[in-house]
Structure 1
Amino acid sequence: MTDAALQDRAAGAIMGAFIGDALGVGPHWYYDLEELHRDYGDWITTYTDPEPGRYHEGLKAGQLSQAGIILRLMLRSLVDQGGYDEADFCRRMDEELFPLLDGTPANGPGGYTSQSIRNAWRKRVQEGLPWGQTGGNADTTEAIERTLALAVRYAMQPHELATVISNNARLTQIDDVVLSMTVAYGAVLGLLVQGHKLDKNLSGIMMQLVKTGQLPFHAVTHSDLQPPRPGDPDPPRAGRFASPDALLTPSYVATAATDPAIAIEPAWKVSLVYGMPCAIYHQLPAAYYLAARFPQDFESAVLHALNGGGQNQARTILTGALAGAQTGLAGIPQRFLDGLEEGQTLRKLAMELATRVGV
């Protein structure tokens, strides 16, 4: 593994997420697929404007939603500080985002403010609570959408990766299951940046990291999921998450994606199989499936994520990061980079972060 290849995958993951966010700005949250096709045709291939009266109204094709804006804020903090500095990240949220919000959904940069950010704003601005007391019970992927940058930065340091992702995610979301799935996605993305494949073996690699105390999940079974033997002691907890199941999901889904006897055709219908809503347990299996099915085809991965409707923006962000980590920045079609507003600036930030991976 060369430094250039590692950095290309790291930058690809970041730019894949930004591209996924901007692709979702127009056709976001169409749960009626006939309505989606009426407004955007049978197959969306590029950035689009939102329709009047829809989410993100007023934005233009290629612009970022608030999820992308927060990811950019996180990226700038990481680059400026050289790593995760929670005080710096929180200061930027206080100074750069929160003054632009009013606590309502259809408001703020990007035209829409998500549930977990609205909750944090109320606790921080209206109630005057300190950071650390701002988390809520949203069961969504909103923490992943910013902490994926942490997964890239600490891709070579899994224990640090899990710690900083858990700490940052907890600022807005406190449900343990959501946190465990958020950390698990970060662990998957980190391994893809390292150069591992999203396949049937990936979960075994993560389970070994559990056994060595590098990922904070509790496991009783052996690494091959065989039962404990009589007399085996209860293993010490490596961390707070009671079950390693969030680490097992990726390989099961990847196995299904490559099994010729299991057909989801066309692939965008994965959104119907795993569910179109916002919750993390709908979003992650679909993103894992598409990234595993199209490991070297960034365009197919993100467009099938996008055309599945529902919470397609989050699905495309998550898929874009996983797909970009596999293809590398060099494998992302140039038209997606060219059509992204401030694409050169975002690419420079992604490359600067990529040079710090493993440092």
Structure 2
Amino acid sequence: MPTQSLQDRAAGALMGAFIGDALALGPHWYYDLDELRADYGDWISGYTDPRPGRYHAGLKAGQASQAGVLLALTLDSLVAAGGYDEADFCRRIDEDFFPLIDGTPMAGPGGYTSQSIREAWRRRVGEGLPWGQCGGNADTTEAAERGLAIAVRYALRPAELAAALTRNTLLTQTDGTVVAMTVAFGAVLGMLVEGHALDARLSGKLMARVKTGELPFHTVTRGRLGAPRPGEPETAVAGRFPSPDALLGPSAMASAAHDPDIRIEPAWKVSLVYGMPCAVYHQFPAAYYLAARFRDDFESAVLHAVNGGGQNQARAMLAGALAGAQVGLAGIPRRFIDGLERGEQCLAQARRLAVQLAAEH
């Protein structure tokens, strides 16, 4: 396992996410790559201002999008409560966040409100529904973006990680596949914070946790996906999620990243291979690939994520968390923290959460 400390990896994952989010603030959602290059040059290497008339217009380089704002809110809740307290999280959304948005896309902190958050606002504020009835069917990564803080907090307790992240995701997103892929991403991130490698063996380790009941995925196979034994009761390995496929994908992407016969050059073109749009099935594979390919190079992981265009904010945020967990806080170039608005405050909270995690080690 890596020599970085548990605290260093935990703080690195959180700061990697904050940095990835802010790096994509300016060039967010350019689906025409020629337009992206015309506005920002051949290579984006740092924080940039959004252009007038585009997403996040009016914000400045180094500021957070709404995804970063919600990650900070989740992190604050976890630190204050000592863990995931759903009542505290929902109270913070009700009192500190929902009053700042109006249910339309181009409003509120961060300059843009994503689909699942708009739908939750309409049900909670517009219709007065209780939490638990506010989730929608958006197939995007918003829950994974804020929930990565939950995954870091419970990295040493995978069953609690899966339970807390499932509950938090369902507050805003209810599609079964989205929830499964979100929880799987959290489980992968938790393994990296523990110190495991993002490689061809990781999915096998995750499947072992399915077999022990620590991860709530359904499988009827034995080791290496072998056939079940005749008469073996299916209920012995039944989980909340109907398939373990979301746990198997990460090692396939890692294998592709490390296979000398498979090259995506330059690496930012991973967005063209796995897809530029917002859905989880485009975003997670690209993040896994970049984090595996640049496992020792945080800067390359996040900058290739940003330069790929499309929904590069989610790609960079997720890849940043995975890459940050692998290199640790010490492996993140200081310029990225110095250029981040509220960088020192984010860093202090990340370290507090890391201390809480390490106390359980």
Name the TM-score, length of structure 1 as normaliser: 0.98
TM alignment of 1:62-81, pairs within 5 A: 62-81=62-81
Q: How many angstroms does 1:236 deviate by?
A: 2.7
State the alpha-carbon separation in 2 of the partners of residues 237 and 207 from structure 1.
Answer: 11
* Contact persistence 2:36–2:309 (CA under 8 A): yes
Q: Name the counterpart of 1:20.
A: 20
State the alpha-carbon separation in 2 of the partners of residues 255 and 93 from structure 1.
Answer: 39
State the alpha-carbon separation in 1 of the partners of residues 134 and 233 from structure 2.
Answer: 38
Q: How many angstroms does 1:357 deviate by?
A: 1.0
Q: Name the counterpart of 1:101.
A: 101
Q: Name the counterpart of 2:269.
A: 269
1:37-71 superposed Cα distances (whole Å, 9 cap, x missing partner): 00000100000000000000010000001100000
Q: How many angstroms does 1:20 deviate by?
A: 0.4
Q: Name the counterpart of 2:222.
A: 222
1:273-304 superposed Cα distances (whole Å, 9 cap, x missing partner): 00000000000000000000000100000000
State the alpha-carbon separation in 1 of the partners of residues 43 and 321 from structure 2.
Answer: 21
Q: Name the counterpart of 1:244.
A: 244
* Contact persistence 1:215–1:238 (CA under 8 A): no
State the alpha-carbon separation in 2 of the partners of residues 206 and 55 from structure 1.
Answer: 37
* Contact persistence 1:219–1:235 (CA under 8 A): no
The code of the aligned residue for 2:204 comes to G
State the alpha-carbon separation in 1 of the partners of residues 2 and 55 from structure 2.
Answer: 42
* Contact persistence 1:47–1:61 (CA under 8 A): yes
* Contact persistence 2:22–2:63 (CA under 8 A): yes
Q: CA RMSD in A?
A: 1.2
State the alpha-carbon separation in 2 of the partners of residues 196 and 62 from structure 1.
Answer: 31
Q: How many angstroms does 1:2 deviate by?
A: 10
Specify the SS of the correspondent of 1:97: helix
* Contact persistence 1:120–1:134 (CA under 8 A): yes
State the alpha-carbon separation in 2 of the partners of residues 143 and 255 from structure 1.
Answer: 26
TM alignment of 1:122-271, pairs within 5 A: 122-271=122-271
Q: Name the counterpart of 2:86.
A: 86
CA gap 1:277/1:4 in 2 versus in 1, 3 angstroms: closer
State the alpha-carbon separation in 2 of the partners of residues 242 and 24 from structure 1.
Answer: 34
State the alpha-carbon separation in 1 of the partners of residues 247 and 278 from structure 2.
Answer: 20
State the alpha-carbon separation in 2 of the partners of residues 88 and 233 from structure 1.
Answer: 40
* Contact persistence 1:269–1:308 (CA under 8 A): yes
* Contact persistence 1:151–1:189 (CA under 8 A): yes
Q: How many angstroms does 1:227 deviate by?
A: 1.2
State the alpha-carbon separation in 2 of the partners of residues 237 and 220 from structure 1.
Answer: 6
**Structure 2: gaps of 5 or more residues:** none
1:332 aligns with 2:327: no
Q: How many angstroms does 1:3 deviate by?
A: 11
The code of the aligned residue for 1:109 comes to P
State the alpha-carbon separation in 1 of the partners of residues 83 and 91 from structure 2.
Answer: 15
* Contact persistence 1:268–1:307 (CA under 8 A): yes
State the alpha-carbon separation in 1 of the partners of residues 24 and 238 from structure 2.
Answer: 37
1:198-230 superposed Cα distances (whole Å, 9 cap, x missing partner): 000000000000000000000011121111132
Q: How many angstroms does 1:237 deviate by?
A: 4.5
Q: Name the counterpart of 1:6.
A: 6
* Contact persistence 2:147–2:169 (CA under 8 A): yes
Aligned length: 359
* Contact persistence 2:220–2:237 (CA under 8 A): no
CA gap 1:267/1:121 in 2 versus in 1, 3 angstroms: same
State the alpha-carbon separation in 2 of the partners of residues 263 and 215 from structure 1.
Answer: 32
* Contact persistence 2:210–2:237 (CA under 8 A): no
The code of the aligned residue for 2:54 comes to R
Specify the SS of the correspondent of 2:28: coil
State the alpha-carbon separation in 2 of the partners of residues 293 and 4 from structure 1.
Answer: 19
CA gap 1:293/1:92 in 2 versus in 1, 3 angstroms: same
Q: Name the counterpart of 1:30.
A: 30
State the alpha-carbon separation in 1 of the partners of residues 228 and 2 from structure 2.
Answer: 40
* Contact persistence 1:100–1:108 (CA under 8 A): yes
